[in-house]
Amino acid sequence: MKKILLVSLVLLSSLCFAQTKSILFVGNSYTQCNGGLENMLKSLAASKGIEIEAEQAAIGGYSLKKHCNNQQTLDKIRSKNWDYVVLQEFSLNPAYPPEVVDTLTYPYAKILSDMIHNQSICTQLYFYMTWGRKNGYSNDTTYMPLTTYDGMQRRLAESYCEMAIDNDGSVAPVGMAWKYVRDNYPEIELYTEDNSHPSPQGTYLAACVFYASIFKSSPEGAKFTYGLNEKEANILQQAAAIVVLNNMEIWRLDIKPKCEEYESGKRSVVTFSTIAVDGKLMFNKNIISEYTIYSYTGKLCKQGKVHGSTLDVSDLLSGLYLIKLGNDEAQKFIIE
């Protein structure tokens, strides 16, 4: 009898810790390609012993604005208390100048984010950072960063990170893992012939990044490879692990779900924008603290100790940055 009771308790404990997680992807054709990113992630996770329920609300060519006005998308979000919801913007929109993204993307990211958080305070929100087009977007030469891959990728990284900060979310940095593979393994083709959409390797890389981002664990060793050769699959798994797990703070993967923060009585401090004036970052009081400054692509730019109410950042280029003071939460600032 005691043995039966012990076995029952063990099984009950296993079931409690192996609860199936639900994930909803809201996006467009980048999410739909190659049988669906949600299905790729589901198979990848299963091969690592994790069961997930993954669905999509994805329509080709859709932006976040269009999703805000699509009743099917809204109904899908409200259909249950999802554990995770992923938002993916139209590929070009976050790569435009900041003042354009302010009106083209950010308001609709907020509308959807607020809806998701209102549906369930425990839902964790992820922003799907996509990748620059293979040769940039040459159809619009009014904004030069858009015309090259590197320029486009930099703007995508900045915009997606800002969306995550502004909406209590995290970033799944697929675009930065994409750049890592392009830089280190150019023989792996991540694009289809249109130089925009993901090849099977590209979607597999995205699935590996989401696995690492959501489960805070390396996808390395996964048996599911979507038919890719073992060498390619291993490279893509490793790339995802390096980019995600070495930069957890940059991607805001260390934040807790809101329900956990409220239950513990320790709601995190809301981040805010600060504009550097005359090359100086201004604080609201005198401080003595170690500091670290990162670009929005995760690159370490500067570190040291601040003593006073200002910090000289005149040696940094214009753009968006994150600064971490001591053990405090990282906050963003702008150098114009």
**Three-state secondary structure string covering the chain:** CHHHHHHHHHHHHHHHHCCCEEEEEEECHHHHCCCCHHHHHHHHHHHCCCCEEEEEEECCCCCHHHHHCCHHHHHHHHCCCCCEEEECCCCCHHHCCHHHHHHHCHHHHHHHHHHHHHHCCCCEEEEECCCCCECECCCCCCCHHHHCHHHHHHHHHHHHHHHHHHCCCEEECHHHHHHHHHHHCCCCCCECCCCCCECHHHHHHHHHHHHHHHHCCCCCCCCCCCCCCHHHHHHHHHHHHHHHHCCCCCCCCCCCCHHHHHHHCCCCCCCCCCECECCEEEEEEEEEEEEEEEECCCCEEEEEEEEEEEEECCCCCCEEEEEEECCCCCEEEEEC
Q: And the tokens for 45?
A: 């996770």
Q: Are residues 124 and 150 in the same domain?
A: yes
Q: What average pLDDT is seen over the chain?
A: 88
pLDDT digits (tens, 9 = 90+) for 209-252: 999 999 999 999 999 999 999 999 999 999 999 999 999 999 99
Task: Using the 3D structure, point to which of 264, 289, 317 is the last residue of a domain.
Answer: 264
Q: Are residues 286 and 225 in the same domain?
A: no
Q: Other CB atoms closer than 10 Å to residue 227's CB: what's the count?
A: 8
Contact 172, 251 (CB under 8 A): yes
pLDDT digits (tens, 9 = 90+) for 278-326: 888 887 777 778 888 888 667 889 999 887 778 889 999 888 888 888 7
Residues forming a β-bridge with 201? none
Q: Which residues contact 143 (CB under 8 A, 6 or more apart)?
A: 96, 97
Rounded CA separation 219/210 (Å):
9
Task: Using the 3D structure, point to which of 214, 236, 264 is the last residue of a domain.
Answer: 264
Residue 248: inside a domain, yes or no? Answer: yes
Residue 174: inside a domain, yes or no? Answer: yes
Residue 9: inside a domain, yes or no? Answer: no
Residue 270: inside a domain, yes or no? Answer: no
Say what the pLDDT of residue 85 is. 98
Residue 271 has pLDDT above 70, yes or no: no
Q: Are residues 187 and 285 in the same domain?
A: no
Residue 3: inside a domain, yes or no? Answer: no
Residue 169: inside a domain, yes or no? Answer: yes
Query: Which residue's entry shows tokens 């005149």?
Result: 314
Say what the pLDDT of residue 258 is. 66
Average pLDDT over residues 33-54: 97
Q: Are residues 80 and 225 in the same domain?
A: yes
Q: Are residues 209 and 299 in the same domain?
A: no
CATH number at residue 209: 3.40.50.1110
Q: Are residues 166 and 59 in the same domain?
A: yes
Rounded CA separation 325/108 (Å):
31
Q: Are residues 172 and 240 in the same domain?
A: yes
Q: Are residues 145 and 186 in the same domain?
A: yes
Query: Which residue's entry shows tokens 């489960």?
Result: 215
Rounded CA separation 240/224 (Å):
15
pLDDT: which is higher, 287 or 11: 287
Please give the model's pTM, rounded to 2 decimal places.
0.77
Residue 243: inside a domain, yes or no? Answer: yes
pLDDT tier for residue 63 given thresholds of 50, 70 and 90? very high
Residue type for position 183: D
pLDDT digits (tens, 9 = 90+) for 110-148: 999 999 988 888 899 999 999 999 999 988 888 999 999
CA angle in degrees (0–180, nearest 5) for 181-317-152: 40
Say what the pLDDT of residue 299 is. 80
Residue 16: inside a domain, yes or no? Answer: no
Q: Are residues 25 and 102 in the same domain?
A: yes
Task: Using the 3D structure, point to which of 237, 264, 291 is the last residue of a domain.
Answer: 264
Q: Are residues 39 and 170 in the same domain?
A: yes
Contact 163, 125 (CB under 8 A): no
pLDDT tier for residue 171 given thresholds of 50, 70 and 90? very high
Number of domains in the chain: 2
Give me the domain span that covers residue 288.
280-335
Residue type for position 126: Y
Residue 6 has pLDDT above 60, yes or no: no
Q: Are residues 236 and 309 in the same domain?
A: no
Q: Are residues 135 and 57 in the same domain?
A: yes
